[in-house]
Homo-oligomer: A and B are copies of this chain.
């Protein structure tokens, strides 16, 4: 290590650059770089396409008001939506070339930040002070185009910036104003080529040099190359995760502030190599790149020292246990997971609005070849797919409001971690697979990029992977539940997340259940019955999981192995617990709604969602005898009839999502106008040109 160090001229030159001055220079230079032409600014200031929400007259308005409880923040929302509808800056770019998209999105980012964070409408410190503002912002930002803008903003402010805020101390926090206003662009360099999920085994090193009180950041081998780093094309600074080596001892992964570009924002710092990771399934407006470090020296102060520091050449940490220390460092990513849930749920709201409006306008087939044709939403093959999705998104709203409230209260860290992880996995997966089905339901017209389904599928898909792979998040949920279970089982006094367990002990101890044979509508729609089904399942799976893991351990005597052998049950537990929480909080929320019409509508949606969850896991409910044959049959019949009833309200229900009309941007989903005229206009059929000549003239 020290060998490469001394032999490296570029490294030597970088020694002369103390952190402070680079930071400040970067900021100053960036201010000059990012001047905006006045006309752009005034153009936007004059625009005012934002509609005022919250005038609760129609059912849709009331549903929207309910769905945004705890994340109202009217001024922030209106400002953000006004900016997104200003086409002079926020033109959708997902069908442009990758290179052009990136320039457009960079410009959108810096412009947006200067108008919001820059004006103090929201701050990085809201990560602690008022996370509900971040949720509100995600809810708005995810309506625009393909989420490239939103993702780049999250990377800069809530990953790079969050590391500075959460892992750093006083001396680092002075950078926050320039980060959040977009003057200082940064990236979050955690993932490596060889390690995405197992980040505790990252290989990049930060070796402490007592002589100069510096660290040397090094990419020791190819697999240690930082990979998929968002904002790598534009960032001046990076929050780099690396193994801290002090006196030859590995103190495990810590985070460091590393200048990667010269203040001019273009030239790289000595010893830094950066390249593009290339085209992606979606979000090509985000510049994901790879980064390598060759003996890059940074001053001691660039260590974010909240969870670890070096005093008189000796490593110190407020948390002795390395696992717990690293867990604490990672725990800071929780806001990211919560905001993903908000972003994904909103994306499905946009996609569903497009699909439902199309299905109401598109007619196909009639009783006879000459008879008037039927709107496709009237076919069971359509409404039995659409309506459960609509209900599910309302269910997500209920639990998101609850999670956001609890998170702001910071009352029960454990519950919040379990819920945030489970929801991120559940929502991101559901949204991606659902939009793929919406594309199918809209047939050929849905396959056009103009429909937006393609970019929404592609951009959401990665949410199943980043900020914690879904499979791992479910394992964290299961692990936390089992730990709490073990702690509380002996006393049989279950608290917090496991409160519901008590009630079910009787059921669980006996093989056969005490549930009623009733299969009448009243019983099946009874909210208490639906809650019980969900609670029984989680309880049963929690105990099964505990048994499965311990049985496996008795045989293998290997904790890692016995855990892996039990994964199927553990994942089932995590999913079930998350669904139980959603149903449970949806029920609580519905009961508290004052307005009768709103309450009755939400109740139906809640019933449909819960019954859908039960039916999807009928194998469990039947094999545990919790549901008898006739009851099971009655449930599937009931789901169909609920879907049929609700389908008559489909347009009102998606209007209740309160999408910004101007941001729908799909000829299939326009509220007004003739469907086919909108499609024709989009492909330029009304222009007098014939087939684009360049296609025919183009030569290889």
Q: Are A99 and B194 in contact (CB under 8 A)?
A: no
Distance (Å) between the CB of A331 and the closest chain B CB? 18
Instruction: Digitize A657-700: 1 where CB-to-B-CB distance is under 8 Å, 0 elsewhere.
Output: 00000000000000000001101101111000111101110111
- The answer, yes or no, to whether A193 is at the interface (CB within 8 Å) is yes
Given contacts A99-B698, A567-B381, A632-B622, contact A275 B443 (CB under 8 A): no
Q: Does A568 have its Cβ within 8 Å of any Cβ on chain B?
A: yes
Determine whether the beta carbon of A623 is less than 8 Å from that of B619: no
Which residues of chain B are near A469, meaning CB under 8 Å? 443
* Residues of the B chain whose Cβ atoms lie less than 8 Å from the Cβ of A629: 622-623, 625
Binds B, one of A121-129, A159-167, A460-468, A483-491: A460-468
B443 touches A225 (CB 8 A): no
How many angstroms from the CA of A676 to the CA of B221 in the assembled complex?
11
Measured in the bound complex, the distance between the Cα atoms of B437 and A432 in whole Å is: 10
Let me know if A366 and B465 touch, CB within 8 A.
Answer: no
Q: By CB atoms of chain B within 10 A, which of A466, A564, A625 has the most?
A: A564
User: Smallest CB-CB separation from A440: which chain B residue?
Assistant: B464
With A436-B461, A691-B289 in contact, is A369–B280 under 8 Å at CB? Answer: no
Contact with B along A38-63 (1 / 0, CB 8 A): 00000000000000000000000000
- Give the contact stretch, choosing among A412-420, A450-458, A583-591: A450-458
Q: Say yes or no: B450 contacts A462, CB within 8 Å.
A: no
Most buried by B among A273, A365, A623: A623
Nearest CB in chain B to that of A200: its residue: B369
Find chain B residues with CB under 8 A from A352 CB: none
Report chain B residues within 8 Å CB of A274. Answer: 690-691
Give A365 to B104 CA distance when docked, in angstroms.
39
Each complex incorporates copies of this chain amounting to 2
Closest to A692 in B: B276
Using Cβ atoms and an 8 Å threshold, which residues of chain B touch A696?
Answer: 233-234, 265-266
**Nearest B residue to A560 by beta-carbon distance?**
B367
| Neighbouring B residues of A367 by C-beta, 8 Å | 558-561
A615 CB within 8 Å of chain B: yes
A598 part of interface (Cβ distance < 8 Å)? no
Cβ of A517 within 8 Å of any chain B Cβ, yes or no, is: no
Q: Could you tell me the distance in whole angstroms from the C-beta of A464 to the nearest C-beta in chain B?
A: 5
Asked if A515 CB lies within 8 Å of chain B CBs, one says no
A541 within 8 A of B: no
CB-nearest residue of chain B relative to A632? B623
| 0/1 interface trace, chain A 86-110, chain B, CB 8 Å (1 if under) | 0000000001010110111001000
**Chain B residues in 8 Å Cβ range of A695:** 99, 102-103, 233, 276, 287
Chain B residue at minimal CB-CB distance from A474: B381
What interface size band does chain A fall in? 35 or more
Residues in A278-308 with C-beta less than 8 Å from chain B:
278-282, 287, 289-290
Inter-chain contacts of A365 with B (CB < 8 A)? 197-198, 201, 560
CB contacts (< 8 Å) of A223 on chain B: these are 676
Nearest CB to that of A449 among chain B residues? Answer: B279
Within the complex, which residue of B225, B227, B439, B636 is in contact with A619, where a contact is CB–CB below 8 Å?
Answer: B636
CA distance A373 to B457 in the complex (A): 32
Q: Say yes or no: is A599 at the interface (Cβ < 8 Å to chain B).
A: no
A274 to B, closest residue via Cβ: B691
Q: Are A103 and B700 in contact (CB under 8 A)?
A: yes
Residue of B nearest to A436 (CB): B436
In this complex, what residue of B is CB-closest to A89? B700
Cβ contact within 8 Å between B278 and A682: yes
- Set of chain B residues within 8 Å of A276, measured between Cβ atoms: 683-684, 691-692, 695
A101 to chain B, nearest CB (A): 10
Q: Is A222 an interface residue (CB 8 A)?
A: yes
Closest B residue to A191 by beta carbon equals: B444
Complex CA–CA separation, A462 to B446 (angstroms)? 9
B618 touches A691 (CB 8 A): no
Residue of B whose beta carbon sits closest to that of A685: B275
Within A306-359, the residues touching B (CB, 8 Å) are none
Given contacts A232-B691, A691-B232, contact A278 B461 (CB under 8 A): no
**In the complex, what's the smallest C-beta–C-beta distance from A8 to chain B, in angstroms?**
16
User: Which of A273, A289, A364, A636 neighbours the largest number of chain B CB atoms within 10 Å of its CB?
Assistant: A364
A219-270 residues at the B interface, CB under 8 angstroms = 222-223, 225, 227-228, 232-234, 252, 265-266, 268
Within the complex, the shortest CB–CB distance from A521 to chain B, in Å, comes to 18
Contact assessment for B640 and A568 in the assembled complex, using a CB-CB cutoff below 8 Å: yes
Q: Please determine whether A195 and B364 come into contact, CB atoms closer than 8 angstroms.
A: yes
Question: Which B residues are in CB contact (< 8 Å) with A458?
Answer: 454, 458
A450 to B277, CA, bound (A): 10
Q: List 21 A-B contacts (CB under 8 A).
A: A102-B698, A103-B700, A193-B679, A196-B364, A228-B444, A233-B691, A275-B692, A276-B692, A278-B682, A279-B449, A281-B448, A365-B560, A381-B471, A433-B436, A436-B436, A440-B464, A444-B466, A618-B622, A619-B622, A619-B632, A623-B629
A-B contact sample (17 more), CB < 8 A, given A233-B692, A275-B691, A623-B629: A99-B692, A102-B698, A191-B444, A197-B365, A198-B364, A225-B685, A266-B696, A275-B685, A276-B695, A278-B448, A278-B450, A279-B450, A365-B560, A380-B564, A433-B436, A446-B465, A458-B458
Name the 3 nearest CB pairs between A and B, nearest first: A281-B454, A279-B449, A367-B560
